[in-house]
Chains A and B, each alone.
Chain A
Amino acid sequence: MTVDLRKDFVNYAKSLNAASEDKNIRTAISRAVTSYRNTVTETLERFPHTPALAEEVQEIKRQSMANLDNLLETAMASVERNKGKAFYAKDHQAALDIALGIIGKGKTVVKGKSMLGEELHLREYLEDNGNEVWETDLGEFILQLRKERPMHILSPSIHVPREQVAEVFTKFFGKVVPPDIAEEVKVVKEFLREKYFTADVGISGANVVAADTGAMVIIENEGNVRLATGAPPVHIVMVGVEKLVPTFQEAMKVAEVTWRYAQYGVPGYVNIVSGPSKTGDIEKVTTYGAHGPKEFYVIFVDNGRNEMAHEEKFSQALHCLRCGGCMYECPVFQVTAGHFGHTYMGGIGAIWTAFVSGGMEKAAPLVYSCLRCGRCVERCPMSINVPAMIGELRERVIYGKLEG
């Protein structure tokens, strides 16, 4: 059988060209790049121990990925011990089935930002199955209304200026929303506030998971995750298995490095959730669902990650903290944003596309639009050698080894 990729290349080139002419993308990304470089320089000066800590985290990640099966087992046991329910989803469909099994139909769901959610097309799936789902991250909410996909892993709606936000809000809320950022934030806050407290289920991802304690660490600034995971009676965490580390202490190290390079400086909120809400205040009888969720579920998603962990040349890609730094330094991403990607973006995204989200056919054009210039490696706190992996994938594409 022959897979003809020529059309894909032509179409992809067209989309890159169109993106590179888009003034909104250009302006937004140049602003973002400058601000990224400034914040990181400034925070690294303030917290000079960070690069050394990042090296430590590389080693933590390396060992965790080499030990993935054990870690998963420990983590699942920890979640159960905490009176949560733990699931393992081998692939994309299994993950969706498990989630839908817990949620059912006719429910209202509030959701925090999660790249895994994008990978699984989680919102669309739950909606198609008769649920009402709200993205609570402001950027994701804007994209939900615009029916678009994220253009950056941390700032998904980076390409949408305030005027366009006002336009889509005015239409959606049925009242005039001026192109004023504070006003725009306010209308969403009012709208979602009601959703948090009437929702049946809150879904979040996690930035790190400590296997020993079953602690899910979620970093955020807006406070939406806090509400989405605290107010509804059910909290589901959906997390990729690559987020596992052995201990709570190590999880804190990973978290600190993540937020520092993800331009949080110091994040507004770090949520640590290990089980359902409980109280023993009356007669020391433990009762679940005190103020927060009564039910707590964790779905560990594999979907190609384990295979990647076993590939010597690619397991390092699982160390990615999703800080987004490499994307800001990528000359292709700087002019095309998320168009250089398929769910996951930039050079590292091309690797993830091949193994986790889309497969080699989808990855091939991305793999060839990488310059292999190597600046991402300079930036990456995990020193992930993306250009080397790109080279390896090119070889696989050329010689027809498309199975990843």
Chain B
Amino acid sequence: METKMPMVLDVISENIIKHGSPLALKGSEVSSWAKELDLPAKGDVLFYTGGEYQMLPFIDSLVKTITHLDQGSKVFSMMMGARNILNKTGFSPEKMYASVLAKDKDRYNSVCFKAAKVLKELGYEFCYSGNEELYSGALLYELGYLQDMEDYVKRVVEVIKKSGAKTIVCLSPHAAEVFKFVYPKMVEGFDFEIRTYVDLVWERRDKLAKLQSAESVVIHDSCRLARELGIHQELRDILVSIGADVKEAPMNREWTSCCGGPIKILFPELSHVIGERRVTELKESGSAHILTSCPYCLSALEAGRAKGDSAVVEDLIEFLYRGVKA
């Protein structure tokens, strides 16, 4: 029996399969952050972004557009890419993408740049697949498109193999999760060492620049990082080693409260409520400077901050980069 699912699922899965990005972003857009860095295409360690931070500013507007269409009518056939859908309905993708604030685009695009800079500063050498890099397919796994994923991952692996790397460093815990637990089941001989950005920084945390003054911060543990990958103490070690005053939220580490991000594409309002509640919970720690280490947490918590709220939400990458610059 065939099922007709909410259109946003069709759009996202099709985009991944056809364009290698949940939002059909072009390779050149996704890799633009790396222009000045001249990273090699080959090396032992592959720096992997999966385009996840880069697409954050576009998610909200896509969701808004599609939720609106989903409720409106049934004239749209299934299986159309975001660009198609938007064309047919009179929205132009360029318009939708253009409606995203430039400052958001710049901010999220530069996260990858900052991550690369921090790692370089710590003495790591790595390569990057640039235009060719493909999204890991984590959302195919998340949303139930496992059969499609089996085909898709082959293409991802091809690109990864081209780099000649043995180790993959993931910025997003979601990518790390699927590389670690899902790929080995789907791809024979997928024996890459999977590391996270946090791991690498942790190993050389002594080399990080110290903070000028002891800022107080609170960590939002990402579910995937804390529960699936068991990484939570590392975040604290890193921050303590640079002299931050780490406050703890009532629910943290393996008991962390989800940011609400995972249901954003289907239940945006509810997702928002959950994000707001998590921000409130984090602030109970006594610090309103929230640090996380996952693109979706970053975006969901940022959205969950009430208008005019004094809380600051940053990715660990952004926070550490300030030390690099100084």
Contacts and interface: CB of A to CB of B under 8 A. Distances in A.
A391 B142 CA distance: 7
Interface in B265-302: 266-267, 269-270, 273-274, 277-278
A364 B267 contact: no
Given A331-B260, A391-B144, A364 B2 contact: no
B142 A372 contact: yes
Contact of B258 (A331, A393, A400): A331
A354 to B, nearest CB: 13
A85 interface: no
Contact of A16 (B71, B74, B262, B270): B270
Contacts of A334: 277
Contacts of A372: 142, 262
Interface in B1-26: 1-7, 9
A2 B263 CA distance: 25
A376 B118 CA distance: 35
Interface in A322-336: 329, 331-332, 334-336
B239 to A, nearest CB: 23
A398 B79 CA distance: 13
B64 interface: no
A20 interface: yes
Interface residues of B, number: 37
Interface stretch (A4-12, A239-247, A262-270, A296-304): A4-12
A398 B138 CA distance: 16
B1 to A, nearest CB: 5
Q: Which of B3, B255, B256, B270 has the most chain A CB atoms closer than 10 A to its own CB?
A: B3
A20 B143 contact: no
Contact of B223 (A16, A17, A373): A373
A378 B227 CA distance: 9
Contacts, number: 121
Contact of A373 (B7, B145, B262, B277): B262
B223 A375 contact: yes
A21 B71 CA distance: 21
Nearest to A403: B1
B263 A371 contact: yes
B70 A20 contact: no
A13 B145 contact: no
Q: Which of B228, B257, B262, B263 has the most chain A CB atoms closer than 10 A to its own CB?
A: B263
B141 to A, nearest CB: 7
B144 A374 contact: no
A111 to B, nearest CB: 34
A369 interface: yes
B273 A369 contact: no
A3 interface: yes
A397 B277 contact: no
Contact of A20 (B147, B258, B270): B270
A16 B145 contact: no
B274 to A, nearest CB: 5
A13 B266 contact: yes
Nearest to A16: B270
A77 interface: no
Majority secondary structure of chain A interface residues (helix, strand, loop or mixed): helix
B4 A399 contact: no
B270 A13 contact: yes
A152 B4 CA distance: 31
Interface in A92-141: none
Given A3-B3, A6-B6, A378-B227, A335 B270 contact: yes
Contact of B146 (A4, A16, A395): A395
A391 B274 CA distance: 21
A364 B270 CA distance: 17
A394 interface: yes
Nearest to B143: A394
A389 B108 CA distance: 33
Given A397-B144, A400-B1, A400-B2, A9 B274 contact: no
Given A336-B270, A371-B263, A374-B228, A394 B144 contact: yes
Given A2-B4, A400-B1, A9 B143 contact: no
Contacts of B4: 2-6
B267 A16 contact: yes
A5 B266 CA distance: 13
23 contacts: A2-B1, A5-B4, A5-B6, A6-B5, A6-B6, A9-B266, A16-B269, A17-B269, A20-B270, A335-B270, A335-B277, A336-B270, A364-B3, A369-B266, A369-B270, A373-B257, A373-B262, A375-B227, A375-B255, A395-B144, A396-B144, A397-B5, A400-B1
Given A16-B269, A332-B263, 14 more contacts: A5-B3, A6-B7, A6-B70, A9-B6, A369-B266, A370-B263, A371-B274, A373-B262, A374-B223, A395-B146, A395-B147, A398-B5, A398-B144, A400-B1
